[in-house]
Protein backbone atom coordinates (compact mmCIF):
# COMPACT_ATOMS: atom_id res chain seq x y z
CA UNK A 1 0.00 0.00 0.00
CA UNK A 2 1.27 3.48 -0.80
CA UNK A 3 0.41 6.53 1.19
CA UNK A 4 -1.02 9.39 -0.82
CA UNK A 5 0.74 12.73 -0.66
CA UNK A 6 -1.92 14.26 1.61
CA UNK A 7 -1.39 11.59 4.27
CA UNK A 8 2.31 12.21 4.61
CA UNK A 9 3.86 15.04 6.65
CA UNK A 10 5.34 17.74 4.41
CA UNK A 11 8.94 16.87 5.28
CA UNK A 12 8.38 13.23 4.55
CA UNK A 13 6.99 14.18 1.15
CA UNK A 14 10.08 16.27 0.46
CA UNK A 15 12.33 13.42 1.54
CA UNK A 16 10.37 10.93 -0.47
CA UNK A 17 10.56 13.13 -3.55
CA UNK A 18 14.26 13.81 -3.04
CA UNK A 19 15.11 10.18 -2.57
CA UNK A 20 13.01 9.29 -5.61
CA UNK A 21 14.88 11.86 -7.63
CA UNK A 22 18.22 10.57 -6.38
CA UNK A 23 17.10 7.07 -7.15
CA UNK A 24 16.22 8.09 -10.70
CA UNK A 25 19.47 9.97 -11.09
CA UNK A 26 21.50 7.05 -9.88
CA UNK A 27 19.60 4.74 -12.23
CA UNK A 28 20.50 7.13 -15.01
CA UNK A 29 24.13 7.19 -13.94
CA UNK A 30 24.32 3.48 -13.24
CA UNK A 31 22.76 2.41 -16.54
CA UNK A 32 25.44 0.18 -17.96
CA UNK A 33 26.80 1.03 -21.36
CA UNK A 34 25.08 -1.53 -23.54
CA UNK A 35 27.76 -2.11 -26.06
CA UNK A 36 26.69 -4.81 -28.49
CA UNK A 37 28.83 -6.94 -30.74
CA UNK A 38 29.30 -5.46 -34.20
CA UNK A 39 28.68 -7.86 -37.09
CA UNK A 40 31.41 -7.94 -39.72
CA UNK A 41 31.18 -8.58 -43.46
CA UNK A 42 30.44 -12.23 -44.11
CA UNK A 43 27.67 -12.45 -41.53
CA UNK A 44 24.29 -13.01 -43.28
CA UNK A 45 22.36 -10.39 -41.27
CA UNK A 46 24.36 -7.68 -43.06
CA UNK A 47 23.10 -8.93 -46.42
CA UNK A 48 19.38 -9.17 -45.73
CA UNK A 49 16.66 -6.59 -46.20
CA UNK A 50 15.65 -5.27 -42.78
CA UNK A 51 12.01 -5.04 -41.73
CA UNK A 52 10.06 -1.83 -41.22
CA UNK A 53 9.17 -0.80 -37.66
CA UNK A 54 5.40 -0.95 -37.28
CA UNK A 55 5.04 -0.86 -33.50
CA UNK A 56 6.94 1.66 -31.43
CA UNK A 57 7.58 1.25 -27.71
CA UNK A 58 10.19 0.47 -25.06
CA UNK A 59 11.87 -2.27 -27.12
CA UNK A 60 12.64 0.16 -29.97
CA UNK A 61 13.83 2.84 -27.53
CA UNK A 62 16.08 0.28 -25.87
CA UNK A 63 17.42 -0.86 -29.25
CA UNK A 64 18.22 2.77 -30.12
CA UNK A 65 19.99 3.29 -26.76
CA UNK A 66 22.12 0.18 -27.36
CA UNK A 67 22.93 1.35 -30.88
CA UNK A 68 24.05 4.77 -29.63
CA UNK A 69 26.25 3.17 -26.94
CA UNK A 70 27.77 0.75 -29.46
CA UNK A 71 28.38 3.48 -32.04
CA UNK A 72 30.09 5.74 -29.47
CA UNK A 73 32.19 2.92 -28.01
CA UNK A 74 33.41 2.06 -31.52
CA UNK A 75 34.02 5.75 -32.29
CA UNK A 76 31.60 5.52 -35.23
CA UNK A 77 29.74 8.28 -37.03
CA UNK A 78 26.70 6.10 -37.64
CA UNK A 79 25.28 2.64 -37.08
CA UNK A 80 22.44 0.60 -38.55
CA UNK A 81 20.51 -2.03 -36.53
CA UNK A 82 21.64 -4.99 -38.68
CA UNK A 83 25.21 -4.14 -37.69
CA UNK A 84 24.36 -5.35 -34.19
CA UNK A 85 22.48 -8.32 -35.58
CA UNK A 86 18.97 -6.81 -35.52
CA UNK A 87 17.32 -6.80 -38.99
CA UNK A 88 15.08 -3.77 -38.36
CA UNK A 89 15.02 -0.45 -40.22
CA UNK A 90 16.70 1.75 -37.59
CA UNK A 91 19.78 3.95 -37.97
CA UNK A 92 21.61 6.36 -35.68
CA UNK A 93 24.09 9.04 -36.74
CA UNK A 94 26.07 11.40 -34.51
CA UNK A 95 28.00 14.19 -36.16
CA UNK A 96 30.98 15.60 -34.27
CA UNK A 97 31.17 19.15 -32.96
CA UNK A 98 32.81 21.68 -35.27
CA UNK A 99 35.35 24.26 -34.13
CA UNK A 100 36.68 27.43 -35.69
CA UNK A 101 40.40 28.21 -35.98
CA UNK A 102 40.52 29.52 -32.42
CA UNK A 103 39.03 26.34 -31.08
CA UNK A 104 35.59 27.78 -30.33
CA UNK A 105 32.76 25.36 -30.84
CA UNK A 106 30.71 26.65 -33.78
CA UNK A 107 28.45 23.62 -34.05
CA UNK A 108 27.51 21.16 -31.33
CA UNK A 109 27.34 17.41 -31.82
CA UNK A 110 24.06 16.38 -33.38
CA UNK A 111 22.25 13.08 -32.95
CA UNK A 112 19.91 11.70 -35.59
CA UNK A 113 17.72 8.69 -34.82
CA UNK A 114 15.71 7.42 -37.77
CA UNK A 115 13.31 4.50 -37.92
CA UNK A 116 12.10 3.55 -41.42
CA UNK A 117 14.33 6.16 -43.08
CA UNK A 118 13.60 6.96 -46.72
CA UNK A 119 15.73 9.22 -48.87
CA UNK A 120 13.07 11.14 -50.76
CA UNK A 121 15.32 13.57 -52.68
CA UNK A 122 18.93 13.46 -53.76
CA UNK A 123 21.06 15.78 -55.89
CA UNK A 124 24.68 16.36 -56.81
CA UNK A 125 27.46 13.82 -56.70
CA UNK A 126 30.77 13.64 -54.93
CA UNK A 127 33.34 10.94 -54.35
CA UNK A 128 35.04 10.52 -51.02
CA UNK A 129 36.57 7.77 -48.97
CA UNK A 130 34.39 6.07 -46.42
CA UNK A 131 34.74 3.20 -44.05
CA UNK A 132 32.40 0.98 -42.08
CA UNK A 133 32.46 -0.56 -38.62
CA UNK A 134 31.42 -3.83 -40.29
CA UNK A 135 34.37 -3.74 -42.69
CA UNK A 136 37.12 -3.00 -40.18
CA UNK A 137 40.45 -1.80 -41.45
CA UNK A 138 39.36 -0.75 -44.94
CA UNK A 139 38.33 2.47 -46.64
CA UNK A 140 37.24 3.01 -50.22
CA UNK A 141 36.20 5.86 -52.50
CA UNK A 142 32.42 5.90 -52.98
CA UNK A 143 30.27 8.25 -55.06
CA UNK A 144 27.30 9.62 -53.14
CA UNK A 145 24.73 12.35 -53.64
CA UNK A 146 25.89 15.66 -52.15
CA UNK A 147 22.46 16.76 -50.92
CA UNK A 148 19.64 14.59 -49.68
CA UNK A 149 16.32 14.86 -47.90
CA UNK A 150 15.46 11.99 -45.60
CA UNK A 151 12.19 11.30 -43.83
CA UNK A 152 11.20 8.70 -41.28
CA UNK A 153 10.22 8.38 -37.64
CA UNK A 154 12.08 8.89 -34.39
CA UNK A 155 12.35 6.28 -31.62
CA UNK A 156 8.82 7.14 -30.44
CA UNK A 157 7.26 6.96 -33.91
CA UNK A 158 7.00 10.72 -34.50
CA UNK A 159 7.53 11.91 -38.08
CA UNK A 160 10.97 13.44 -38.69
CA UNK A 161 12.66 14.89 -41.75
CA UNK A 162 16.19 16.20 -42.36
CA UNK A 163 17.89 18.02 -45.21
CA UNK A 164 21.54 17.06 -45.25
CA UNK A 165 24.63 17.78 -47.28
CA UNK A 166 28.20 16.54 -47.55
CA UNK A 167 29.31 14.27 -44.68
CA UNK A 168 25.88 14.02 -43.05
CA UNK A 169 24.25 13.24 -46.42
CA UNK A 170 26.90 10.56 -46.99
CA UNK A 171 26.25 9.06 -43.56
CA UNK A 172 22.48 8.84 -44.22
CA UNK A 173 23.11 7.13 -47.58
CA UNK A 174 25.64 4.70 -46.07
CA UNK A 175 23.38 3.77 -43.13
CA UNK A 176 20.17 3.37 -45.16
CA UNK A 177 22.12 1.13 -47.56
CA UNK A 178 22.76 -1.21 -44.61
CA UNK A 179 18.99 -1.67 -44.24
CA UNK A 180 18.89 -3.09 -47.77
CA UNK A 181 21.90 -5.36 -47.25
CA UNK A 182 24.27 -3.07 -49.15
CA UNK A 183 27.80 -2.36 -47.90
CA UNK A 184 30.04 0.46 -49.11
CA UNK A 185 32.37 -2.13 -50.68
CA UNK A 186 29.54 -2.86 -53.15
CA UNK A 187 29.67 0.77 -54.28
CA UNK A 188 33.39 1.22 -54.88
CA UNK A 189 34.14 1.18 -58.62
CA UNK A 190 36.51 -1.72 -58.19
CA UNK A 191 37.82 -3.64 -55.23
CA UNK A 192 41.29 -2.36 -56.17
CA UNK A 193 40.07 0.98 -54.84
CA UNK A 194 39.82 -0.48 -51.36
CA UNK A 195 42.63 0.55 -49.10
CA UNK A 196 43.83 -1.17 -45.97
CA UNK A 197 44.22 1.39 -43.22
CA UNK A 198 45.06 -0.79 -40.25
CA UNK A 199 47.99 -3.11 -39.99
CA UNK A 200 46.93 -6.72 -39.69
CA UNK A 201 49.26 -7.31 -36.77
CA UNK A 202 51.04 -4.85 -34.57
CA UNK A 203 54.77 -4.73 -34.98
CA UNK A 204 54.67 -6.35 -38.41
CA UNK A 205 57.17 -3.71 -39.47
CA UNK A 206 55.53 -2.92 -42.79
CA UNK A 207 54.76 0.52 -44.12
CA UNK A 208 51.24 1.62 -45.01
CA UNK A 209 51.95 1.29 -48.74
CA UNK A 210 53.17 -2.23 -48.32
CA UNK A 211 50.11 -2.98 -46.22
CA UNK A 212 47.86 -1.72 -49.01
CA UNK A 213 49.44 -4.16 -51.38
CA UNK A 214 48.72 -6.99 -49.00
CA UNK A 215 45.00 -6.84 -49.76
CA UNK A 216 44.99 -10.19 -51.43
CA UNK A 217 42.36 -11.67 -53.70
CA UNK A 218 41.19 -13.90 -50.83
CA UNK A 219 40.76 -10.93 -48.55
CA UNK A 220 38.77 -9.12 -51.22
CA UNK A 221 36.51 -12.13 -51.64
CA UNK A 222 35.96 -12.34 -47.91
CA UNK A 223 35.04 -8.66 -47.80
CA UNK A 224 32.51 -8.94 -50.57
ZN1 LIG B 1 28.56 0.78 -42.35
- Domains of the chain, with CATH numbers? 44-190 (3.90.45.10)
Q: Please tell me the pTM assigned to this model.
A: 0.75
Ligand 1 center to 46 CA (angstroms): 9
pLDDT at 218: 38
pLDDT at 199: 54
pLDDT digits (tens, 9 = 90+) for 60-116: 999 999 999 999 999 999 999 999 999 999 999 999 888 999 999 998 999 999 999
More confident residue, 212 or 152: 152
Report residue 8's pLDDT band, with 50, 70 and 90 as the boundaries. very low
Ligand 1 center to 89 CA (angstroms): 14
**Average pLDDT of the chain to the nearest whole number:** 82
Ligand 1 center to 24 CA (angstroms): 35
Ligand 1 center to 182 CA (angstroms): 9
What is the mean predicted confidence (pLDDT) over 126-148?
A: 96
Ligand 1 center to 189 CA (angstroms): 17
pLDDT at 24: 46
Contacts of 194 (CB under 8 A, 6+ apart): 138, 139, 140, 185, 188, 215, 220, 223
Query: Is the Cα dihedral 132, 133, 134, 139 positive or negative?
Result: positive
Cα–Cα dist 74/84, whole Å? 12
Q: Which residues surround ligand 1, an ion (CB under 5 A)?
A: 132
pLDDT value at 213 more than 80? no
pLDDT value at 200 more than 60? no
- Catalytic residue check, 101: no
pLDDT at 77: 96
Catalytic residue (one of 175, 192, 210, 213): 175
pLDDT at 198: 72
Amino acid sequence: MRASREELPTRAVACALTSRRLELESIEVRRPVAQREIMVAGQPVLRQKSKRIKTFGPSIESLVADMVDTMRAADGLGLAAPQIGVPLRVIVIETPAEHDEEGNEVKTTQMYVYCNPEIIAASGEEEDEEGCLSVPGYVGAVKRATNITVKGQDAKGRQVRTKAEALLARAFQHETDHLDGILFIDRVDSLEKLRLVKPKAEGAGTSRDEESEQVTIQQRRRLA
